[in-house]
Structure 1
Amino acid sequence: MNAIVLAVAAMMLLVLIRVPVIMALIVATFIGGTAAGMNFADVVDAFEAGLGNGANIALSYAMLGAFAVALSRSGLTHLVASRIAGLVGAKSSASGNLYAAMVIYGAFLVTATLAETLVPVHIAFIPILVPPLLEVMDRLQLDRRAAACALTCGLIFAYMLLPVGFGAVYQTDILTKNINIAGEAHGFAVAASTVPLAMLIPALGMLVGLMFAVLISYRRPRAYKIREIGEIAGDEKPAHPPMSQKQITLSLLAIVIALITQLILGSMLIGGLVGFALLSLGGFFRWNEVDDVFVLGLRMMALIGFIMVTAQGFAAVMQATGEVPALVEGSAALIGDSKAMAAFVLLAVGLLITMGIGSSFSTVPVIALIYVPLCLEFGFSPLATVALIGTAGALGDAGSPASDSTLGPTAGLDADGQHDHIWDTVVPTFLHFNLPLLAAGWIAAMVL
Structure 2
Amino acid sequence: MAWAVVVSVLVMTILSLLRVNVIIAILAAGLTAGLMNGETLVSSLELLVGGMGEQASVALSYILLGAFAVAISYSGITSLLIGYLLRVLKDKRTMMVLVIAFVASLSQNVIPVHIAFIPILIPPLLKLFDEMKLDRRAVAAALTFGLKAPYVMLPVGFGYIFHETIQSSMSSSGIDLGIGSIAQSLIIPGSGMIVGLFIAIFVTYRKKRDLPDVATEGQGFEVKKVETAKFNLQHIWTIVAIVVTLVIQAVWQNLILAALAGIILMFIFRVVPYHKGDKVVNEGIGMMGFIAFVMLVAAGYANVLTETESVSALVEVSSEYLGDNQAFIAFLLLLVGLIVTMGIGSSFATIPILAALFVPICLSAGFSPMATAALIGTAGALGDAGSPASDSTLGPTSGLNADGKHNHIWDTCVPTFLHFNIPLFIFGWAASLFL
TM-score normalized with structure 2 length: 0.92
What is residue 3 of structure 1 aligned with on the other side?
Answer: 4
- Superposed displacement of residue 388, structure 1: 1.2
> Aligned ranges for residues 144-159 of structure 1 at < 5 Å?
144-159=136-151
Q: List gaps (5 residues or longer) in structure 2.
A: none
Q: Does the C-alpha gap of structure 1 residues 212 and 244 become closer, same or farther in structure 2, counting only changes over 3 Å?
A: closer
Q: Does the C-alpha gap of structure 1 residues 346 and 235 become closer, same or farther in structure 2, counting only changes over 3 Å?
A: closer
Q: List gaps (5 residues or longer) in structure 1.
A: none
What do the CA deviations read for 1:147-179 (whole angstroms, capped 9, x no partner)?
Answer: 12112112221122111122122212x112222
Residue of 162, 173, 179 corresponding to 2:170 = 179
What is residue 100 of structure 2 aligned with on the other side?
Answer: 108
1:426 equivalenced with 2:427 (yes/no): no
- Superposed displacement of residue 233, structure 1: 8.3
Q: What residue identity is the alignment partner of 2:343?
A: G
What do the CA deviations read for 1:381-406 (whole angstroms, capped 9, x no partner)?
Answer: 22211111111111111111111211
What is residue 293 of structure 1 aligned with on the other side?
Answer: 280
What is residue 355 of structure 1 aligned with on the other side?
Answer: 342
CA distance in 1, matches of 2:378, 2:431: 10
- Superposed displacement of residue 419, structure 1: 1.9
What is residue 407 of structure 1 aligned with on the other side?
Answer: 394
What is residue 345 of structure 1 aligned with on the other side?
Answer: 332
What is residue 254 of structure 1 aligned with on the other side?
Answer: 241
1:131 equivalenced with 2:123 (yes/no): yes
Q: What residue identity is the alignment partner of 1:132?
A: P
Q: Does the C-alpha gap of structure 1 residues 222 and 332 become closer, same or farther in structure 2, counting only changes over 3 Å?
A: same
CA distance in 2, matches of 1:416, 1:205: 32
What is residue 41 of structure 1 aligned with on the other side?
Answer: 42
1:81 equivalenced with 2:82 (yes/no): yes
> Aligned ranges for residues 193-208 of structure 1 at < 5 Å?
193-208=180-195
State the secondary structure of the residue aligned to 1:415: coil
- Superposed displacement of residue 226, structure 1: 8.2
- Superposed displacement of residue 284, structure 1: 4.8
- Superposed displacement of residue 206, structure 1: 0.7
State the secondary structure of the residue aligned to 1:116: coil
- Superposed displacement of residue 262, structure 1: 2.8
What do the CA deviations read for 1:337-389 (whole angstroms, capped 9, x no partner)?
Answer: 42211111010001111111111112121121221121122222222111111
1:327 equivalenced with 2:325 (yes/no): no
1:16 equivalenced with 2:8 (yes/no): no
State the secondary structure of the residue aligned to 1:374: helix
1:65 equivalenced with 2:52 (yes/no): no
Q: Does the C-alpha gap of structure 1 residues 134 and 253 become closer, same or farther in structure 2, counting only changes over 3 Å?
A: farther
- Superposed displacement of residue 433, structure 1: 0.7
Q: What residue identity is the alignment partner of 2:100?
A: F
- Superposed displacement of residue 42, structure 1: 2.4
1:373 equivalenced with 2:373 (yes/no): no
CA distance in 2, matches of 1:152, 1:254: 26
> Aligned ranges for residues 434-445 of structure 1 at < 5 Å?
434-445=421-432
1:394 equivalenced with 2:386 (yes/no): no
Q: Does the C-alpha gap of structure 1 residues 49 and 126 become closer, same or farther in structure 2, counting only changes over 3 Å?
A: same
What do the CA deviations read for 1:189-238 (whole angstroms, capped 9, x no partner)?
Answer: 3333211221111011110011101111111112347899x987896957
Instruction: Give the RMSD, CA atoms, in angstroms.
Output: 2.5
TM-score normalized with structure 1 length: 0.89
Range 123-132 or range 284-293, more displaced: 284-293
What is residue 267 of structure 1 aligned with on the other side?
Answer: 254
- Superposed displacement of residue 131, structure 1: 2.5
- Superposed displacement of residue 282, structure 1: 4.3
Q: What residue identity is the alignment partner of 1:208?
A: V
Contact 2:69 2:116 in 1 (8 A): no
Equivalent residues, number: 433
CA distance in 1, matches of 2:168, 2:252: 26
> Aligned ranges for residues 18-33 of structure 1 at < 5 Å?
18-33=19-34
CA distance in 2, matches of 1:16, 1:272: 34
CA distance in 2, matches of 1:263, 1:130: 23
Range 80-89 or range 243-252, more displaced: 243-252
What do the CA deviations read for 1:418-440 (whole angstroms, capped 9, x no partner)?
Answer: 22211111111111111111111
Q: Does the C-alpha gap of structure 1 residues 168 and 258 become closer, same or farther in structure 2, counting only changes over 3 Å?
A: closer
Fraction of identical pairs, as percent: 44
Q: Does the C-alpha gap of structure 1 residues 437 and 155 become closer, same or farther in structure 2, counting only changes over 3 Å?
A: same
What is residue 301 of structure 2 aligned with on the other side?
Answer: 314
Q: Does the C-alpha gap of structure 1 residues 284 and 224 become closer, same or farther in structure 2, counting only changes over 3 Å?
A: farther
CA distance in 2, matches of 1:389, 1:239: 45
